């Protein structure tokens, strides 16, 4: 037996979905505008997880042109059937909805390569897929109700899919609106068959404080479904906003090889008041069956801080679980870019990257010169060593990123052998300078730039060479999280460079980036 601490995936790993193949578990999460998209994680015991690849990991698989922050890839589902892995997901373009929709991808190996998308003639979000015992395939998902009785009423639909043609078979059936009258956003539906009965679990209440998980069952995959009198079967909304974990929901079930049942789900850890700068994280909860219904976190009724897994050995938490400290090499699967693959914006160079500056800024709906990592700890340090011969109007630095409208950047510009360093907080599209310093440094002198996160305080530091970096200013993480800004993302820390609209040949040489949890 082994014990795992929640969350099992710290940092912005939202909307988890899981499947088991033999003794192996595979999990995927949402990534929105960041690429590579949809990380694939592997475990043998639900305790220790390792990232093995991404579903969207090459240029051209999906068009991310102009995708705004908190758009992009929403709520994937992963399943395994007849020797093949399947992922269904949604590409969301929030500008006008003219692009995107539901799609599926397949792979023989979950580490990849995954196929190009097969687009489904359906609409909405959070698609899932169910393979029945008779070989029939059923896709289901959520959309705004076509004839709503209240604002933001949604409906869960199900429809058969032909495996050979990937076309719909027969009519669509609406099977659920939520367990609570007047509930908003009944979403993240998943269908399972247990002992001959079909079960539907779905989140409701919106992916924030009122989030909850409900369950219904039926004798037929197309319903009618009847909810348990115990709905919602898991929520933290009754615990209040001062509880350290809020927003529990968006669950997916898996049966272990020993017959035990488990759920992965999202929730948020608050700090700095009712704020969650780390975003929506992945948690693990035990499940048992009583009177023909699933009971989440039996005897506790909420997400436990620690979970005992009887069949797990000695835990060996991996990099993705926040256990790593030190240099993050280019091959590390945590690296992401915005609206493009990292290989499209930078070239690996030793322990770091050569990052050509781009005209796009971090405020533009284009592809910026940016490489980033999820913030996975309340207390952590990120340090980057960068060399750049900057021209007039050019800028390199570090950024704490929520979106193009909301971020705090440590911006370096050059004037001969002088480096001007400013901390700029972009809030709702408006910018203000929090602090600035001047450093003496030649063009080939390495800049040492850092972010020191201590709870809600984000100190941004700058120095040259071996001199100790100085604190330029402190940003407030509670003004950058989704409670303050909207959207669905936790914070990212990254390096960037821009020529602010002008053509450029300048390359920022990112010699290395180190990430270390503090304490």
Q: What residues are labeled active site?
A: 15, 187
Element containing residue 7 per DSSP (H, E): none
- Partnered with residue 137 across adjacent β-strands are 131, 161
Backbone torsions φ then ψ of 477, nearest 5 degrees: -65, -25
Element containing residue 342 per DSSP (H, E): helix 342-345
Assign 229 to helix, strand or coil. coil
Taking the C-alpha atoms of residue 377 and residue 335, their distance in angstroms, rounded to an integer, is 16
Taking the C-alpha atoms of residue 457 and residue 441, their distance in angstroms, rounded to an integer, is 28
Please, what's the largest Cα pairwise distance for the chain?
A: 76
Taking the C-alpha atoms of residue 196 and residue 200, their distance in angstroms, rounded to an integer, is 13
Angle at 501 between CA 497 and CA 503, to 5 degrees: 85
Taking the C-alpha atoms of residue 160 and residue 158, their distance in angstroms, rounded to an integer, is 7
Q: Write out the DSSP string of 421-489.
A: EEEEEEETTEEEEEEEEEEE--TTSPEEEEEEEETTEEEEEEEETTSPPEEEEEEEGGGTSHHHH-SS-
Q: Write out the DSSP string of 164-181.
A: TT--EEEEEEEEES-SST
Return the HEC string of 9-36.
ECCCCCCCEEEEECCEEEEECCCECEEC
Q: Sign (positive/negative) of CA torsion 210, 215, 220, 221?
A: positive
Taking the C-alpha atoms of residue 386 and residue 355, their distance in angstroms, rounded to an integer, is 10
Burial label, 133 (beta-carbon count in 10 A; 0-12, 13-18, 19+): exposed
> Is there a cis peptide before residue 512, judged by omega within 30 degrees of 0?
no
| Of 63, 60, 62, 44, nearest in space to 52 by CA | 44
């Amino acid at each position: 037996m082994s014990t795992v601490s929640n969350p099992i995936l710290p940092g912005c790993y939202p909307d988890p979905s899981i499947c088991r193949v033999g003794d192996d578990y595979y999990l995927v999460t949402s990534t929105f505008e960041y690429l590579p998209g949809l990380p694939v994680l592997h475990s043998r015991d639900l305790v220790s997880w390792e990232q093995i690849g991404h579903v969207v990991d090459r240029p051209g698989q999906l068009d991310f042109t102009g995708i705004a922050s908190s758009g992009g890839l929403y709520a994937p589902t992963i399943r395994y059937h007849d020797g093949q892995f399947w992922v269904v997901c949604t590409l969301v373009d929030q500008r006008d909805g003219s692009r995107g929709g539901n799609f599926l991808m397949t792979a023989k190996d979950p580490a990849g390569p995954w196929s190009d998308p097969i687009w489904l003639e359906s609409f909405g979000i959070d698609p899932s897929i169910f393979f029945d015992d008779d070989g029939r395939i059923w896709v289901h998902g959520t959309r705004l109700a076509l004839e709503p009785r209240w604002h933001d009423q949604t409906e869960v639909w199900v429809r058969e899919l032909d495996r050979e043609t990937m076309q719909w078979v027969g009519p669509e059936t609406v099977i659920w609106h939520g367990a609570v009258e007047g509930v908003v956003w009944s979403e993240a539906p998943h269908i399972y068959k247990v002992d001959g009965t079909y079960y539907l679990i779905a989140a409701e209440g919106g992916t924030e404080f009122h989030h909850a998980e409900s369950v219904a069952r039926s004798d037929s995959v197309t319903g009618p479904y009847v909810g348990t009198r115990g709905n919602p079967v898991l929520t933290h909304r009754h615990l209040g906003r001062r509880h350290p974990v809020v927003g529990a929901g968006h669950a997916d079930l898996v049966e272990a090889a020993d017959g035990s049942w488990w759920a992965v789900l999202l929730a948020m850890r608050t700090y700095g008041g009712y704020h969650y700068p780390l975003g929506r994280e992945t948690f693990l909860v035990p499940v048992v069956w009583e009177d023909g219904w699933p009971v989440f976190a039996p005897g506790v009724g909420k997400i436990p801080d620690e979970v005992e897994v009887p069949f797990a050995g000695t835990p060996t938490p991996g990099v993705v679980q926040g256990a790593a400290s030190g240099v993050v090499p280019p091959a590390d699967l945590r690296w992401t870019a915005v609206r493009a693959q990292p290989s499209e914006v930078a070239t690996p160079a030793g322990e770091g990257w050569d990052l050509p500056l781009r005209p796009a800024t971090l405020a533009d709906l284009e592809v910026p010169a940016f490489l980033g990592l999820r913030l996975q700890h309340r207390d952590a340090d990120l340090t980057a060593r960068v060399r750049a011969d900057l021209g007039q109007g050019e800028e390199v630095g570090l950024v704490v990123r929520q979106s193009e409208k909301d971020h705090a950047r440590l911006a370096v510009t050059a004037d001969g052998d002088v480096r001007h360093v400013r901390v700029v907080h972009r809030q709702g599209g408006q910018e203000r300078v929090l602090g600035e310093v001047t450093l003496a440094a030649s063009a080939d002198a390495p800049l040492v730039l850092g972010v020191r996160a201590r709870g809600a305080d984000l100190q941004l530091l700058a120095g040259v060479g071996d001199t100790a970096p100085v604190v330029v200013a402190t940003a407030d993480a509670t003004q950058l999280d989704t409670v303050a800004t909207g959207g669905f993302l936790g914070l990212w820390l990254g390096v960037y460079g821009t020529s602010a609209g002008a053509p450029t040949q300048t390359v920022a040489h990112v010699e290395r980036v180190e990430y270390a949890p503090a304490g």
